[in-house]
């Protein structure tokens, strides 16, 4: 995840890009409000006591969800629903986004090509080794085959961001002790925004369960995270902020930019060390403009 400041563009193009960003984010926010009104997305329950209203708004123990049947009737699939996890950063979990067969397909496709994971160099725009990232990974070209195209179309439907704005899928494998230190997915340089502009959002798909550890943690997120029912199941790293436990098939969507098109520092996130088992995941980064592959 690299896991940015905007490139220096002529005033007219900068204005056009900002307008596009604002339009995309406002459209997503509008759709989210519609889904909330229809009861499709989950929302924090409100408190009847005015004295507790501030605490309730940030208490994840009060999050409820409704379920959406997304089955096409052609195959047996787990029940699917979207859950609001946080508003700072804006983060949502799409439960059972991928089928078990799709998870296994991505893992098997990536296995022969796994290499030590790298990070993006802000000065050159190229990949480089780093101690902050100790996993193994590989990229799968956008539109590589029908299964990948289906997954990418599903991601576009989930995020309302065109397929063409996404990078290729990155598949990652973490063994015991491997991790990814907290970082931002948006860029802090001008080099990496030349192709597609700034990264606007990330979809992180979990391809396996993890026995212990391996949580995705947001240390700068806002909220009372110790109130969540799964708090005692988290590793020490997972207790440092808002944490999501890996579950095969689930997809985590979080936004690196706010609706006003500014970068969101609360999107700081990391991958906790795996304590027991293995962790497989797949990341899709999406940009403001078309990303040329």
Q: For the segment 240-249, what is each residue's pLDDT rounded down to a tens digit?
A: 999 999 999 9
What are the residue ranges spanned by the domains of the chain?
78-287
- Whether residue 101 is predicted with pLDDT greater than 70 in this model: the reply is yes
Q: For the segment 175-207, what is each residue's pLDDT rounded down to a tens digit?
A: 999 999 999 999 999 899 999 999 999 999 999
With bands split at pLDDT 50, 70 and 90, how would you rate the model's confidence at 26?
confident
Element (H, E) at 271: strand 269-271
Let me know: does 250 contact 203? Beta carbons within 8 Å.
Answer: no
- Whether residue 23 is predicted with pLDDT greater than 50 in this model: the reply is yes
Please give the distance of CA 59 from its chain centroid, rounded to a whole number: 21
Residue 223: what are its φ and ψ, rounded to 5°? 150, 165
Closest CA to 16 of 24, 160, 285: 24
CATH of 78-287, picked from 2.60.120.620, 3.50.50.60, 3.90.870.30, 3.90.420.10, is 2.60.120.620
Kindly state the percentage of the chain with pLDDT values over 90.
62
Residue 193: what are its φ and ψ, rounded to 5°? -95, 0
């Amino acid at each position: 995840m690299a896991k940015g400041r905007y490139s220096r563009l002529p005033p007219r193009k900068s204005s056009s890009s900002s307008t596009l960003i604002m339009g995309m984010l406002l459209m997503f926010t509008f759709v989210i409000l519609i889904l909330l009104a229809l009861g499709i997305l989950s929302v924090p329950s409100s408190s009847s006591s005015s004295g507790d209203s501030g605490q309730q708004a940030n208490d994840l123990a009060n999050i409820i969800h409704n379920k959406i049947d997304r089955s096409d009737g052609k195959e047996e699939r787990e029940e699917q629903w979207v859950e609001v996890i946080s508003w700072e950063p804006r983060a949502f979990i799409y439960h059972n986004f991928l089928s078990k067969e799709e998870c296994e397909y991505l893992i098997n496709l990536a296995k022969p090509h796994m290499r030590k994971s790298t990070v993006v160099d802000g000065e050159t725009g190229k990949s480089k080794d780093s101690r902050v990232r100790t996993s193994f990974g590989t990229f799968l070209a956008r539109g590589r085959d029908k299964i990948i195209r289906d997954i990418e179309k599903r991601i576009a439907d989930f995020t309302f961001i065109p397929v063409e704005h996404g990078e290729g899928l990155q598949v990652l494998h973490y063994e015991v002790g491997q991790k990814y230190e907290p970082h931002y997915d948006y860029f802090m340089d001008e080099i990496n925004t030349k192709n597609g502009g700034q990264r606007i959002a990330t979809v992180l798909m979990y391809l396996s369960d993890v026995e212990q550890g391996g949580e995705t943690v947001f240390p700068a997120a806002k909220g009372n995270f110790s109130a969540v029912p799964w708090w005692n199941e988290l590793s020490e790293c997972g207790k440092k902020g808002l944490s999501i436990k890996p579950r095969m098939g689930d997809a985590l969507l979080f936004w690196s930019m706010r609706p006003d098109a500014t970068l969101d520092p609360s999107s700081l996130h990391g991958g906790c060390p795996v304590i027991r088992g293995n962790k497989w995941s797949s990341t899709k980064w999406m940009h403001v403009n078309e990303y040329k592959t």
